[in-house]
Amino acid sequence: MKRLKVAVQKSGRLSEKSLELFRECGIQIPNGTRKLKAAALNFPLEFLFLRDDDIPQYVEQGVADIGIIGENEVWEQEKDIRIIRKLGFAGCRLSLAIPKEKDYSGLSFFQHKRIATSYPNILRRFFAEKKIPVTVEKLSGSVEIATGIGLADGIFDVVSTGSTLLMNGLKEVEIVANSEAVLIASPQLSNDAQLVVDQICFRIKAVQDGCRNRYIMMNVPNEAIPFISALLPGMKSPSVLPLAEPGWSSLHSVVSETEFWDVIEQLKAQGAQGILILPIEKMII
Ligand code: ATP
Ligand code: MG
């Protein structure tokens, strides 16, 4: 089988989570001092450890077949690459921020103002669409100090908790986009390579579905089984096992993490007892 080359960030916010995802997919990555390359031990994958900014280019050129990168870099770099799956980590937003003492009345605040950013393309597109003329100052890092040193009137940057903005006397005034880590692929993959990508995507989906769902089990009076089965249909229908105590059953199902708090009151109202919620490691629907 063809060995697929996958580009991941060498060190930074995406590195650990990217490798953890592959490990959760059952792919063994050799430990030890991190080199520039490492071959998976039990899967036709070779890891290339790179700066995150370089990954879109390598994937576009086919030096790497797939890669993991923040969506923000995909939008910024406008390379010929495909997003094949959102990965649910490294969530952040791309926001406009201004000195906290300034009044903010809306986007027109930025008209003819200077905005510092490492994401000039996203920023220019955003204001062009709004038909608001602005001056974009491109910086490669430490954007948050740009207003303090008189380089710009506002900044446009990646924000997660907002503490860096606060520390620099800035306030977030507009969220332009929300980003998360994504799996990207070269526009043209050979059939062999695509087969390996499909296998990886299948495994990632099983991990993600597992994370989003919980195994739920409880004791229920038999007369409540039809109602609770309708409430918790699970993957096909719940499993129902008789308890030693007559008139009672144990009911097992799967429920999404977000839903189970919504149904818990109804379960109790139906007489359910001893409700247990367990994590699911992998789920194949
Ligand atoms: P490299 O040295 O590889 O170029 P970097 O400094 O450009 O690394 P990181 O700061 O490690 O990059 O961020 C990588 C990605 O993590 C970002 O592109 C973004 O998608 C995501 N991210 C999540 N939260 C944040 C945050 N608070 N600040 C910056 N990036 C974040
Ligand atoms: Mg970078």
Residues, CB-to-ion distance under 5 Å, ligand 2: 52-53
Contact 268, 242 (CB under 8 A): no
Nearest CA to ligand 1 atom 17: 70
Helix, strand, coil % over all residues of the chain, rounded to 5: 35, 30, 35
Q: What is the dihedral of CA 197, 198, 199, 205, to 10 degrees?
A: 110
pLDDT in the model for residue 35: 83
CA-nearest residue, atom 19 of ligand 1: 70
What is the pTM assigned to this prediction?
Answer: 0.90
Q: What is the CATH code of the structural domain delimited by 213-279?
A: 3.30.70.120
* CATH code linked to domain 4-90+181-189: 3.40.190.10
Q: What is the pLDDT along the chain (285 residues), one digit of tens a residue?
A: 678 999 999 999 999 999 999 999 999 999 865 689 999 999 999 999 999 999 999 999 999 999 999 999 999 999 999 999 999 999 999 999 999 999 999 999 999 999 999 999 999 999 999 999 999 999 999 999 999 999 999 999 999 999 999 999 999 999 999 999 999 999 989 999 999 999 999 999 999 999 999 999 999 999 999 999 999 999 999 999 999 999 999 999 999 988 989 999 999 999 999 999 999 999 998
Task: Pick the residue whose CA is nearest to atom 21 on ligand 1.
Answer: 90
Spacing, Cα 69 to ligand 2 middle (Å) = 10
The CATH 3.40.190.10 portion of the chain extends over 4-90+181-189, 92-179
CATH of 92-179, one of 3.30.300.30, 3.50.50.60, 3.40.190.10, 3.90.45.10: 3.40.190.10
| CA 167 – ligand 1 centroid, Å | 18
Report the 10 Å Cβ neighbour count for 257.
Answer: 13
In the chain, where does the domain assigned CATH 3.30.70.120 lie? 213-279
Distance from Cα 265 to the centre of ligand 2, integer Å:
47
